[in-house]
């Protein structure tokens, strides 16, 4: 009797798991517009047992950008090497080319400045930072050069320029801290009364793909598109478009999903908001080129891991539901917080992995007491993506804590980064 019951329960679980998994056919995916979102569904299709080799060979020609996951799935399905496709950007203007070249040169100069600071050659470092400032075109990058010019010279004029910046970043907040000033007033948290739009499915990646196509049209009215997405449920799309419309001269810090978030501590709320803003700007149906999914950009392997730990089976598309994304982020952050207690290091781990963060912190050349630390460590990291991600998440975190009623300044959080007892369990 017990054996029969076990078999029955096993069969029931298999049936339930099969119901939870979505299935895709060739024609559904074929009809989707070429986009990174379609690439994700092509990957899903290639992994379908029912997909034929002929369908795989046909659908692979519709890929926007070939990544490793697509190559592996195609090889497994067909035994062949997937063709390489790279996303073609719209026509690049000569002005854009010059801007990119200028930025590349500025970055090289800035890193030379950091190397000179490490060698304590501040005169040389100053020349490099001044040259970088001339070549940078984006406001936040100019702010970075200005901040380092202040650090090595202690000249107040650089702080004045930072405080006049319209951009919200680590450097402008620290300038306010150094001068005991209020934080910039250009931080916008929209209040929208309409709960949702019945003609918009914010959890559908293909809807978002179509919206991005509209956005890239030469004559696109971004303000009008933003108005079409004005609701609490679509606030991510709305503020994404508004920020783009003003060329990011206004800083939007929305606070959606309050009913879900209110059960967490203020610190956890601020951290989830900080990460979500950096990962997706609160667009629930976001898909990255590597198929990081949802508002909090979970990789499929991490979705699998968290689901297994929680004892549940979900379809990857379920992570496009903001509530599920927040639930999984909270679970993952609980794990990271067992080793990391500081939002900057949590951000490094969320982006680059806990193994990367452990190696970084155990390296005695980083985040130890010393010359211009911890600012030097924050700039000389080789992992550029994690380096910039961490600074932005930390800035977001401070802003959101203040929005949540917890009076917080950035400087004290920076100053404890060389104190392991307050930040992590990896260092002695």
Please say which residue of 48, 78, 108 terminates a domain.
78
Residues 262 and 346 reside in one and the same domain:
yes
In this structure, the answer to whether residues 300 and 401 fall within a common structural domain is: yes
293 bridge partner residues: 287, 298
Q: Token pair of 421, please?
A: 């007892």
Q: Give the residue among 65, 64, 67, 44 at the shortest CA–CA distance from 56.
A: 44
Residue 91, pLDDT score: 62
Residue 294 domain flag: yes
pLDDT at 97: 83
Distance of CA 356 to the CA centre of its chain: 17
**pLDDT digit string (tens) for the chain, length 428 residues:** 444 444 444 334 433 443 457 898 999 999 999 999 999 999 999 999 999 999 999 999 999 999 999 999 999 999 999 999 987 766 677 778 888 999 999 999 999 999 999 999 999 999 999 999 999 999 999 999 999 999 999 999 999 999 999 999 999 999 999 999 999 888 999 999 999 999 999 999 999 999 999 999 999 999 999 999 999 999 999 999 999 999 999 999 999 999 999 999 999 999 999 999 999 999 999 999 999 999 999 999 999 999 999 999 999 999 999 999 999 999 999 999 999 999 999 999 999 999 999 999 999 999 999 999 999 999 999 999 999 999 999 999 999 999 999 999 999 999 999 999 999 999 97
Distance CA 426, CA 378 (A): 18
Are residues 180 and 321 located together in one domain of the fold?
no
Same-domain check for residues 411 and 307: yes
**Last residue of some domain: 52, 78, 104?**
78
Domain boundary among 132, 152, 184: 184
The answer to whether residue 223 is domain-embedded is no
**104 and 148, same domain (yes or no):** yes
Q: Does residue 239 sit within a domain? A: no
Task: Please tell me whether residues 66 and 117 are part of one structural domain.
Answer: no
Look-up: residue for tokens 């990857």? 316
- 41 and 119 inside one domain: no
CATH code assigned at 317: 1.10.530.10
pLDDT in the model for residue 90: 60
Q: Tell me whether residue 126 is in a domain.
A: yes
Give the residue among 282, 187, 273, 192 at the shortest CA–CA distance from 230: 192
The domain total for the chain is 3
Q: Is residue 299 part of a domain?
A: yes
Q: Do 335 and 413 share a domain, yes or no?
A: yes
Do 73 and 101 belong together in one domain? no
Q: For position 96, what pLDDT does the model report? A: 80
Q: Is the same domain home to 137 and 51?
A: no
Tell me if 86 is assigned to some domain: no
pLDDT attached to residue 4: 47
Residue 204 inside a domain? The answer is: no
pTM for this predicted structure: 0.93
Question: Within this chain, do residues 180 and 120 fall inside the same structural domain, yes or no?
Answer: yes
User: Are 47 and 140 contained in the same domain?
Assistant: no
- Give domain status of residue 87, yes or no: no
Three-state secondary structure call for residue 218: coil
C-alpha closest to that of 273 among 104, 423, 392: 392
pLDDT of residue 17: 40
Rg (CA), the chain: 24
Please name the residue that has the structure tokens 């990058």.
141
Kindly give the interhelix angle for 343-352 and 384-403, rounded to the nearest 10 degrees: 130
Q: Find the domain containing 64 and state its range.
A: 20-78
Report the C-alpha gap between 175 and 411 in whole angstroms: 9
């Amino acid at each position: 009797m017990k054996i029969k019951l076990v078999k029955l329960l096993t069969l029931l679980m298999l049936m339930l798991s099969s119901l939870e998994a979505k299935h895709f056919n060739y024609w559904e995916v074929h009809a989707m517009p070429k986009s990174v979102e379609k690439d994700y569904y092509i990957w899903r299709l290639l992994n379908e047992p029912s997909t034929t080799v002929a369908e795989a060979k046909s659908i692979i020609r519709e890929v926007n950008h070939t990544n490793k996951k697509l190559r592996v799935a195609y090889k497994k399905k067909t035994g062949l090497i997937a063709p390489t496709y790279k996303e073609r950007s719209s026509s690049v203007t000569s002005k854009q080319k010059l801007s990119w070249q200028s930025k590349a040169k500025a970055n090289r100069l800035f890193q030379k400045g950091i190397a000179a600071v490490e060698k304590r050659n501040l005169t040389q470092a100053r020349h490099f930072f001044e040259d970088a400032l001339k070549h940078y075109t984006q406001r936040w990058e100019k702010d970075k050069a200005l901040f380092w010019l202040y650090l090595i010279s202690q000249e107040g004029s650089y702080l004045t320029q930072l405080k006049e910046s319209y951009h919200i970043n680590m450097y402008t907040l620290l300038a306010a801290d150094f001068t005991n000033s209020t934080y910039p007033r250009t931080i916008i948290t929209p209040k929208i009364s309409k709960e949702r739009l019945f003609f918009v499915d914010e959890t559908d990646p293909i809807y978002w793909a179509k919206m991005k196509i509209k956005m890239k049209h030469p004559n696109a009215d971004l303000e009008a598109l933003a108005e079409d997405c004005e609701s609490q449920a679509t606030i991510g799309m709305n503020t994404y478009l508004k920020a783009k419309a003003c060329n990011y001269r206004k800083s939007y810090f929305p606070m959606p999903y309050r009913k879900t978030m209110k059960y967490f501590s203020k610190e956890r709320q601020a951290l989830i908001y900080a990460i979500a803003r950096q990962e997706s700007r609160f667009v629930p149906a976001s898909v990255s080129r590597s198929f990081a999914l949802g508002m909090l950009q979970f990789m499929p392997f991490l979705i699998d891991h968290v689901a297994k730990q929680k004892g549940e089976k979900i379809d990857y598309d379920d992570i496009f539901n903001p509530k599920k994304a927040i639930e999984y982020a909270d679970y993952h952050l609980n794990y990271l917080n067992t080793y990391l207690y500081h939002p900057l290091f949590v951000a490094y781990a969320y982006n680059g992995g806990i193994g990367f963060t452990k190696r970084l912190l155990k390296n005695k050349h980083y985040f130890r007491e010393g010359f211009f630390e911890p600012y030097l460590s924050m700039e000389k990291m080789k992992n550029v993506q994690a380096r910039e991600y961490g600074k932005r998440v930390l800035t977001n975190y401070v802003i959101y804590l203040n929005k949540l009623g917890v009076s917080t300044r950035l400087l004290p959080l920076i100053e404890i980064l060389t104190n392991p007892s307050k930040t992590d369990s990896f260092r002695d």
